[in-house]
Amino acid sequence: MTSEALIRVEHLTRYYSGICAVNDVSFELARGEVLGFLGPNGAGKSSTMQIITGNLAPSAGKISIKGIDLLDQPKRAKAEIGYLPEQPPVYRELTVDEYLDYCARLNRIPRSDRTRAIATAKDRCGLGAVGSRLIGNLSKGFQQRTGIAQAIIHTPDLVVLDEPTVGLDPIQIREIRALIRELGADHGIILSTHILPEVQATCNRVQIIHEGKLVFADTTAGLEQDLNATSFTVRFGNAPALPALQQIAGVDRVEALADGRFRIHHTDNNPVDALVEQAVNSHWRLSELTPEYRTLEQTFIDLTCSEEPVATRGDAA
């Protein structure tokens, strides 16, 4: 990452009554990046979000927002952040316009600029037609949009969204994800979620947190590469001995299955062509070859359900 990172989190730790909820978390985020902060319920996502937005004090660690130390200069640092908590902080008895005007004043937007700021936030969040309606009478999707509008009304560089699509119907989820992708072009976005498709649909970076500790960090493209096939199953009419398969270049490990089938695990050097050629030359009568793909769900389960410590991936260290 560059020195111009919007947020730099260093060795963040938080204890609750002796229990470590956030354990030595470090990462950075630049403008134009949408970071998916993924983890099961209770993994430490919301605690991390509250700490980096200045709503919860860390037990240890440092957070810099555009080079401003959040603990030393909280007002200056918080002015650069837009935050949507898991429960949107909207006032149901106000209209959308009244609420956004209130938020504009809270963010010290000058009176002469408030009308423009409100109009811009409403336009970006698709609220133009509901400005005069009571928030309590809006659908959950429009209430979420209103919550996002308050988070961006002061045009912060960093926007933190905690579980922004929880409780929405599929159409509303799609709309909010499209909005997040659009905002990601101009801001740095941190999206906390436990919904796996959320990350693939909206983010270009992903971090997985488990029991308070980062266990995975990579770009979404890197994650997609990890999900590519690294094994395949084969069936032979005249099955060879295991050593014959293990000697093929690129083969990492071979499992014998039933009915003359084998699962072949391989390195980046895919051995399919070599295996087919060997099968023809050795008359193994190859009758089936099926690639096996990992899913994001399987990766997530492997990382968050393993009883063994998992090495942090990518740039999370």
> In the 8-state DSSP scheme, what is residue 302?
H
What's the pLDDT at 302? 76
Tokens linked to 36: 């998916």
Euclidean distance between the first and the last CA atom of the chain, given in angstroms as a whole number? 12
Q: Residue 230: how many CB atoms within 10 A of its CB?
A: 17
d(CA 187, CA 179): 12
Structurally, at CATH architecture level, domain 229-292 sits in: 2-Layer Sandwich (3.30)
> What is the 3 state secondary structure string of 91-134?
CCCCEHHHHHHHHHHHCCCCHHHHHHHHHHHHHHCCCCCCCCCE
Tokens linked to 85: 């908590």
State the virtual CA torsion across 177, 178, 180, 183 in degrees, nearest 10: 180
What's the pLDDT at 229? 62
What residue type is 229 in one-letter code? A
How many degrees, rounded to 5, is the angle at CA 224 between CA 223 and CA 229? 115
What's the pLDDT at 1? 42
Domain ranges of the chain: 87-155, 229-292
Go through 160-177 and write b for each residue having 16 or more CB atoms within 10 A of its CB, e for each that does not. bbbbbbeebeeebbebbb
Residue 38: C-alpha distances to residues 153, 254, 315 (Å): 26, 33, 15
pLDDT in tens, the chain (317 residues): 444 789 999 999 999 998 999 999 999 999 999 999 998 888 999 899 999 999 999 999 999 999 999 999 999 999 999 999 988 899 999 999 999 999 999 999 999 999 999 999 999 999 999 999 999 999 999 999 999 999 999 999 999 999 898 888 888 888 889 999 998 988 999 999 888 888 888 999 999 999 999 998 988 877 776 666 678 999 999 999 999 999 999 999 999 998 778 999 887 788 999 999 999 999 999 999 998 877 777 777 877 776 544 444 444 43
Burial of 241 (0-12, 13-18, 19+ CB in 10 A): exposed
What's the pLDDT at 311? 42
d(CA 37, CA 34): 10
Report the predicted TM-score, pTM, of the whole model to 2 decimal places.
Answer: 0.77
| 1 three-state secondary structure | coil
Instruction: Report the relative pairing of strands 158-162 and 251-256 from DSSP bridges.
Output: unpaired
How many degrees, rounded to 5, is the angle at CA 117 between CA 162 and CA 129? 80
What's the pLDDT at 244? 94
d(CA 179, CA 196): 18
